Chain A
């Protein structure tokens, strides 16, 4: 089983719009939305939820006021400034380390496991999708990302799906690290701007750090052709192949408004053709062995 993860470093470069389009082009896939903070793939996939499970993340400490003797041990030990002078624990500041729980001489601190979100197995018009929603202001997003990817892998095995298509989160921190480890190929979506170039370089470094191969797609490349050239030169310097160039096209937004991807909304457009070329380059990339390649003649 192969896994393609779509990432970008910078947000809003078109990860989800492209992932949804790939779902139309690919064959025999499981879809996975690993952007649990801002899970947008569902807006283009209309998933019908078949199974909903609570995500139990970390635990939160709370002091039982009746048993507390205000000795100050927890105040002194807490490295996260989560305990007030009145011995009340701030749930947002609490890291869930449990140090106050274990070391309270009166054992007056409770430590209950928290529901930090939910994850779902759903059906879509392109097969099964595993996705999640993280609770507001929660940590543990990396854990939830690992969980949805793991569940998607299990389902892919059970259903003999050869390809897992994963929509990744922005950035380079904890959820991104959880989203790329062990992937077959990363598709890095970049826009031709100074920010796009800067952020691509950092996420490409991250890919190198975790030894995951990647290729680059320049989205909205004609917004600034000169910058697009600079992005491509930087990518090539980092040994990243240019998998495709997608023009700036308002049709992406129009398709999104009606809940479709661009291959469904404007299949005959030149932009749709550029997405097909990109997908072809992804599935024929050496590490992919043609997995996810549809016979285009049959279409």
Chain B
């Protein structure tokens, strides 16, 4: 594929039809189309309303605990002996991941729109927990669709959602993972258009979701950029984040896109290896453009255009697509997307836990694993920000099983 012309700014998308280059758009059934347009109007109104920003700011500060710290990972830096590594500590947010940023923004939108019922999809359960949390906070009923396979491998999060008052509906269609949960959430939405708000958890789906999720997550990069300038007096040389659907990554990346000297790296789930058919979830490394869940983007698919399930040790990364803005950033070359395989992520998970005393989410461990590769090749005067998108308590069962421990 030929690279598109380099734009003057990488931060102007999407266009008014919801496209980033050829990616994005609004590929939805007619029943949903009026709702998508209504959401777009509501979001445009909210963006222009200082009261909306003030309420979101207050919740972010006093409820979610923002700003999250930019932490110098001294132990990991010493261990690797190269570039200095900083963690953006999204794991310290209320509910334990970056997902709360987006959920707070969207629940305020739902409230403005007069919606009285929240639905969400979830893979690892982090977004489900964050959705159930904000629904509880605002007194709205919440239904979370979760693949049956994920319900099993993320049992602690399922219990948290139930404690928060949400209904968790296991989805058995397909392989019972995130894409199947998203299909089922879309079916629910089509069937309950009057009262229901669909709180999408990642920067994908029909326009305006990729834009609004990015905007709500961009607080990560905006803070990190200011913190780095304050703490180090200059911008980082490299920023790294894991990409499933890509919300934590676009949140970190977006404020840095026009900082030409900052190298940006997105880490996809390499699973068992990129060469293993249907054995990974690296849609941009091992897939091709297609249309699913309302947008055109890179997808894992077979020759006939049937979507593959993908695999990753991390439930939050095994989605066969990716947000459309990432697809565009890939094609323009502004962001490099690389795979990290399961074993590398597991190794990084354990390394970070031992040398930093921080148990990272398996998703975030993919980003750490890339830093483990890169830092030793860079000078000690260089800096890397790694997005520590979530805490790893939810993953201890999975990791324990893989390490042969009975817990």
Q: Do A and B come from one complex?
A: no
